[in-house]
Amino acid sequence: MTTDPDHTLPTRPLPGGPTGDPRAAPPAWPDRYEVRGLLGRGGMADVYLAWDRDLQREVALKVLSAPWVGVAVWHDRLLAEARLLASLDHVGVVPVFARGVLPGDRPWYAMRVVRGRTMKAVLSASAPRLSWVVGRVLDVAHVLAHAHQRGIVHGDVSPSNIMIGQDDATLLLDWGLGGASGGGSDGVVAGTPGFVAPERREGGPPSPAADVFALGRVLERGIEASDHDGGPGPLSDLATAATAPRSTERMDLLRLRDGLRAWLDGTEARRRALAYLRAAVDLRDEADAAEVEAVRLRRAATRLHLQGSDREAVWSAEDRAGEGEVAAALARARELSALHAALESAPGLAAAHQALADHHHARLLAARARGDRPAQAVHRTLVERHDRGVHAAFLAGGASLSLSSDPPGARVQVRRLVEVGRRVVGTEPIPLGVTPLADVLVPDGALLVELHLEGHDPVRVPVVATAGARCGPRGADGSARPVRLWPGATVGPNACLVPAGWFPAGGDPEAGDGLPAQDVFIDDFIMQRDPVTVAEWGAFLTVLHREGRRDDLRCCLPLAAGEPGPITLDGHGVVVDEAVDPRLPITRISWLAARTYAAFLRARTGLGWRLPRELEWEKAARGPEGRAFPWGSAFEADFTRCVRSAAEVQPGPVGEPADDVSVYGVRGLGGNVRAWCADRWQLVPGSSEVDVAEDLRVVRGGSYSSVGAYCRSAGRYAGRPDRGYRATGVRLVRSLEHRSAPGRG
């Protein structure tokens, strides 16, 4: 057993001065003990390390120091201490094996050897965790409770007398000043300075209240020396209550013990919760990576399918993609499990609540993007339950719109785009003022911002406003971009402006051969409101015939599978079938014919008409919301011209039905006839990968012969450029170059 040399310091002179010779010979130990050295010296006793030959183990032998031999009070105290320790059966008390009196009237006793560090040494050497301090003080409180139940007090509780053994056990040492609770005072007022209760300093007898005072001072010292990792708060209140000057006002030991245990239980629960939270963060990163990998695997499977690989290779790739999606879902489930485990340990842990709110906020936005209303309701409820203020603005609704125009001074109004009867329609307009606008509060969700400036074409800018966030048109670099206003008659009466901006291309798993999800920036362009009609095509062919362009004329005659279309050629010239409605869209024309028509129109108008790039077509149909169909998220056969729309499977006049209209005002993108695009057939537009050997071109849109799934706006088709198809026609677009407004130079 080790002791600190200053662990027993008298506050008044010890009774009876030293009488023995300090240079006296070492004690004459019984033969059963082989003494191996001195462990330490205390105020009244020396401690030796010995080998017990009878029991074959090491023991510590405590014997009255030579200077105090013959002083009756210390002679009796040492023997009483041995008897007191033997009466206590607690893991925090060092057990006594034997006692006696050596020749020369030197009392002694044998006990277990304890190796370790005192709490005083630990607090002096480092700043331990506060929970470590509280755990040790609680251990001592258990020891004292055991002793007090047996009518025994310690009398000198201090960090010097609290030992942390090598097995991490907490031991309360040196009971030499202890005795029966309420026993008479022997005139000795001893103890460690700073830890002696006021009533003891005034000569009062040892008592449980005095032990509580000393333990409260130990707690105070521990709080001062610790790193406060759990925050002292309630502990300081406990220490204050335990060290009240009057013993009658002092907290009793059992209440102190219970308070320490409650604080420690809460701290340990919080520590476990934080461990779960750290694990959840790691799992979130794992889940994010797994989801990215799952998307990559699914795209790889799609690529093999589009490349026409053998079915075993496609199946194998699809299986790997499915396994990746399962791995992503399981990683996300483990993340949620860790967050819920954190809240089970510490229900009020704000960081865990916020992490759950963030998770459900992301799921809510994803559900909103795909139009999943039940999922939106569920995730919004969970965001409301767990959010700790981060998403307060989102939950309150409303977004902040900043908008400028070139030129400035345009009147601005906004309409909410809401689904009514399966169609997205605009609500009554809300005036916002004139451009530029900065942080104007607008409803969240899908919006249609309309700008009007005298002498300029009106502009319709769809915007997706996220609650609690800023929104507005952004340029290709992501920065705010003014809306371009074009001089009147720039767009024209039978065309629609699709203003510059970002839109979510692809990402529709139900669309045939659709692209992977990607955000794409498309600059301003103008698209013809309707497909080119039979009448317009007939006029075009008539000009070709009049100008003697025989090769172009033969190329541009409608023909599909060897069957002539509504326009033919005879010896007199171009013949348009009078039985055919001239408002029908022209079909059976090849990609080469469509390109020839674009060149013809460019030459006649001086405007840059051309075939649309397929992402321009998709943006015109889907808008920044990424709609499944031009009119909204749900398919209705009556909203477009498809195989279920009419008794006869054939095209209808352009502009009918009126519901097949996009947010930009472009009509007939969901059905009636498809349209040629300028692009070669590729997996991703702009890439160098051409996925088939033939030189195919992209076709977009639904048709009168399509079922609902083939009317989805993200669907893609391919055709040979030199061949006409019964359900494919043409619709042109043109780019715009910004021109200064009149008077602006």
pLDDT surpassing 80 at residue 292: yes
Do residues 612 and 677 both lie within one domain? yes
DSSP 8-state secondary structure symbol assigned to residue 705: T
H or E stretch covering 575? strand 573-576
Residue 527 lies in a domain: no
192, part of any domain: yes
Claim to verify: residue 643 and residue 707 sit in the same structural domain: yes
Mark whether 665 and 696 lie in a shared domain: yes
Does 415 lie in the same domain as 328? Answer: no
Section 380-390 average pLDDT: 92
Measure the CA dihedral 312/317/318/323, to 10°: 130
| CATH number of domain containing 402 | 2.60.40
More confident residue, 536 or 513: 536
In the predicted model, what is the mean pLDDT of residues 126-136?
Answer: 90
pLDDT of residue 404 exceeding 90: yes
For residues 542-561, average pLDDT: 92
- Quick check: pTM over 0.85? no
Lowest mean pLDDT among 128-137, 225-234, 416-425, 517-526: 225-234
Domain that holds residue 416: 398-485
Domain end, chosen from 485, 508, 526, is at 485
User: In terms of pLDDT, which residue wins out, 167 or 1?
Assistant: 167
Q: Quick one: 586 and 730 in the same domain?
A: yes
Whole-angstrom distance, CA of residue 49 vs CA of residue 1: 8
The radius of gyration of the chain's CA atoms, rounded to the nearest angstrom, is 45
The Cα–Cα gap between 613 and 621 comes to 13
622 belongs to a structural domain: yes
Q: Look at residues 485, 519, 543 and tell me which one is the last residue of a structural domain.
A: 485
CB 702 within 8 A of CB 714: no
Residue that has been written with the tokens 């449980």 in this structure: 208
Q: Is the pLDDT assigned to residue 19 strictly greater than 60?
A: no
CB 323 within 8 A of CB 340: no
Distance CA 547, CA 562 (A): 26
Q: Is the pLDDT of residue 498 over 90?
A: yes
711/633 same-domain check? yes
Predicted pLDDT of residue 740: 36
Show the tokens assigned to 84. 């007191």
Query: Are 390 and 427 contained in the same domain?
Result: no
Q: Which of 219, 246, 267 is the last residue of a domain?
A: 267
Per-residue pLDDT for 555 more than 80?
A: yes
For CA atoms 658, 663, 668, 670, the dihedral sign is: negative
Q: Is the dihedral of CA 219, 224, 228, 233 positive or negative?
A: positive
Place of tokens 């990163």: 285
- Encode pLDDT of 431-456 as tens digits: 999 999 999 999 888 999 999 999 99
Q: Tokens at residue 103, please?
A: 């020749």
CB-count burial class (<10 Å; 0-12, 13-18, 19+) for 163: buried
Residues 725, 598, single domain; the answer is: yes
**Same-domain pairing of 231 and 285:** no
* 252 and 287, same domain (yes or no): no
Q: Does one domain contain both 585 and 621? A: yes
pLDDT tens digit string along 640-658?
999 988 778 899 999 999 9
Task: Please report whether residue 76 resides in a domain.
Answer: no
**Residue 171 domain flag:** yes
Dihedral angle computed from the Cα positions of residues 549, 550, 553 and 555, in that order, rounded to the nearest 10 degrees:
-120
pLDDT at position 4 is 38
Mean pLDDT within 81-107:
91
How many domains, in total, are found in the chain?
A: 5
Residue 88 lies in a domain: no
Clarify whether residues 391 and 404 are in a common domain.
Answer: no
Residues in the chain: 745
